[in-house]
């Protein structure tokens, strides 16, 4: 072989080697990014046409995939879609997913690592892969009661089993129908997406776990816990004048009514929700103690990642006046309804905060358990002794105070009302509660009660919702 032919052979061989190396690199390294590329229509079509697993409430599938004669092969359907939308979310060809449809996408599509063997079996048998089913912790009766009691008022309701952290109801209003975004009519899907995002009522917003609001007087539970942990007792006297001048400020904080004297017990202050008593108490405890107590309840922690929950917050460096306002759940204190349900639940659970969760188990197509969730303790918010004292104080709120509309015959219920007033908007109405039987903690947030602001109160508009949820679970 002469020189020129040998050189050409070497070049051709090197080109073949480079081609094989590039192909190998693309297959091994670039496959995940190419598969996830939004412009990869082949992959997106295949994923959207998967026989995704069901999402179950009890033994009922509230989300399922039905065979359909079109290019995708399966249509995602949502039974009672508006009722469960805050939990299930949507699965859309154009707009991806939300809620459990997004956070458990791999399991529902059958592509998780834990389902590898199932995929091999399906491949060997020549079957299309089938996704796993999610067994949620939701209670259908509680979910329905929460939705009906809240009605069309903007707001949210969260109920959880405080002994385990299992979420029993999670409702947000206004809501939406996920079927509109799961449609195979892509023009209709685009129109629905535009309408939902342009709606001033924000139906796609998850007010239960994704939005934070001033919690008003429900935050007095955290202040009471900090006070008890600092050595005070329910019978400790606290100053409760008709008004108090905030330090370094021209603002004068007043009570909505008489607290019962210029000095009252801590128990009485919670029963009548005395603003000046808690402002003075918070000023004495200091912002560091209040912040630490709030964090022990879960503030500052992103909760319920299955729904991409956000963290509640206590101000970082408030001055004395701001600390006093924070003590009544104002200034920059902000919480999700989920967080406030956890505060009530921790008190009922003798001070132990359980991590909330929504999916109890994931089951494969042959009903084998792919994964199972066990309860997990998040923190200890307070001692059992002090929690029991605060339980009695909350029971007094329901029996003799502002939470009387949450009374249920034959059930021990503790609660706390809240009315958050900031700016010129309609005040927010809050109520948090717990019951002994069933072991449930509930937070109700009414963003707009639909009445004049002067008539808004947590006891009037939020407490009956909590009562309805507890009664539904009996």
Distance CA 350, CA 366 (A): 40
Round to the nearest angstrom and report the end-to-end CA distance of the chain.
93
DSSP 233-287: -TT-EEE--SEEEPTTSS-EEE-SS--SSSEEEHHHHHHTT-HHHHHHHHHHH-H
Give the residue among 169, 96, 104, 95 at the shortest CA–CA distance from 133. Answer: 104
Could you write out the three-class secondary structure of 104-149?
CHHHHHCCCHHHHHHHHHHHHHCCCCECCEEEECCCHHHHHHHHHH
Q: Phi and psi for 174 in degrees, rounded to 5?
A: -70, 165
Asked if residue 319 lies in contact with residue 209, where contact means CB atoms within 8 angstroms, the answer is: no
DSSP 273-298: T-HHHHHHHHHHH-HHHHHHHHHHHT
CA separation, residue 193 to residues 84, 160, 178, 208, 463 (Å): 18, 31, 10, 21, 34
Give the residue among 313, 382, 312, 397 at the shortest CA–CA distance from 349. Answer: 382
- Tell me the three state secondary structure of residue 58: coil
Cis peptide bond upstream of 438, omega within 30 = yes
Distance CA 268, CA 263 (A): 10
Give the count of beta carbons closer than 10 Å to the beta carbon of residue 211.
18
Distance CA 87, CA 391 (A): 30
Radius of gyration of the chain (CA): 27
Pairing of strands 133-136, 55-57: parallel
Give the count of beta carbons closer than 10 Å to the beta carbon of residue 425.
11
Which residues lie below 8 Å from residue 80, measured CB to CB, with a gap of 6+?
A: 62
Annotation marks residue 217 as catalytic: yes
Give the residue among 369, 458, 378, 453 at the shortest CA–CA distance from 418. Answer: 458
Which of 98, 217, 224, 312 is flagged as catalytic?
217
Q: Which amino acids are annotated catalytic?
A: 217
């Amino acid at each position: 072989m002469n020189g020129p032919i040998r050189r050409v052979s070497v070049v051709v061989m090197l080109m073949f080697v480079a081609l094989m190396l590039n192909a190998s690199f693309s297959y091994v390294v670039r496959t995940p990014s190419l598969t996830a590329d939004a412009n990869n229509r082949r992959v997106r079509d295949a994923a959207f046409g998967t026989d995704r697993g069901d999402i179950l409430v009890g033994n009922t599938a509230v989300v399922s995939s039905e065979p359909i004669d079109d290019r995708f092969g399966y249509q995602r359907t949502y039974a009672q879609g508006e009722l469960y939308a805050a939990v299930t979310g949507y699965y859309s060809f154009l707009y991806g997913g939300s809620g459990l449809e997004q956070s458990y996408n791999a399991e529902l599509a059958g592509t998780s690592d834990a389902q590898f063997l199932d995929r091999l079996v399906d491949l060997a048998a020549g079957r299309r892969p089938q996704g796993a089913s999610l067994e949620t912790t939701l209670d259908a009766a509680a979910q329905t009661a929460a939705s009906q009691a809240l009605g069309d008022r903007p707001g949210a309701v969260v109920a959880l089993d405080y002994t385990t952290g299992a979420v029993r109801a999670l409702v947000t209003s206004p809501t939406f129908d996920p079927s509109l975004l799961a449609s195979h009519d892509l023009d209709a899907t685009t129109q629905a997406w535009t309408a939902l995002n342009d709606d001033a009522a924000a139906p796609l917003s998850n007010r239960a776990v994704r939005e934070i609001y001033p919690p008003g007087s429900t935050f007095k539970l955290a202040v009471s816990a900090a006070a008890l942990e600092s050595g005070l007792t329910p019978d400790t006297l606290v100053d409760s004048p008709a008004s108090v001048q905030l330090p370094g400020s021209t603002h004068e904080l007043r009570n909505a009514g008489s607290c019962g004297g210029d000095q009252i017990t801590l128990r009485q202050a919670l029963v009548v929700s005395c603003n000046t008593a808690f402002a003075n108490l918070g000023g004495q405890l200091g912002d560091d103690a209040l912040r630490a107590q709030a964090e022990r309840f879960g503030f500052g922690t992103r909760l319920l990642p299955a729904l991409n929950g956000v963290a509640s917050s206590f101000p970082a460096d408030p001055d004395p006046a701001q600390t006093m306002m924070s003590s009544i759940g104002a200034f920059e204190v902000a919480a999700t309804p989920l967080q406030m349900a956890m505060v009530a639940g921790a008190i009922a659970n003798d001070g132990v905060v359980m991590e909330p969760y929504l999916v109890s188990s994931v089951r494969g197509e042959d009903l084998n358990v792919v994964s199972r969730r066990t309860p997990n303790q998040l923190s200890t918010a307070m001692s059992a002794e002090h929690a029991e004292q605060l339980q009695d104080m909350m029971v007094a709120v329901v029996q003799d105070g502002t939470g009387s509309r949450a009374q249920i015959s034959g059930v021990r219920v503790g609660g706390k009302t809240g009315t958050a007033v900031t700016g010129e908007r309609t005040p927010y109405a809050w109520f948090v509660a717990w019951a002994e039987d069933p072991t449930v903690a509930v937070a109700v947030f009414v963003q707009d009660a639909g009445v004049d602001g002067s008539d808004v109160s947590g006891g009037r508009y939020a407490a009956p919702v909590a009562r309805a949820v507890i009664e539904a679970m009996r």
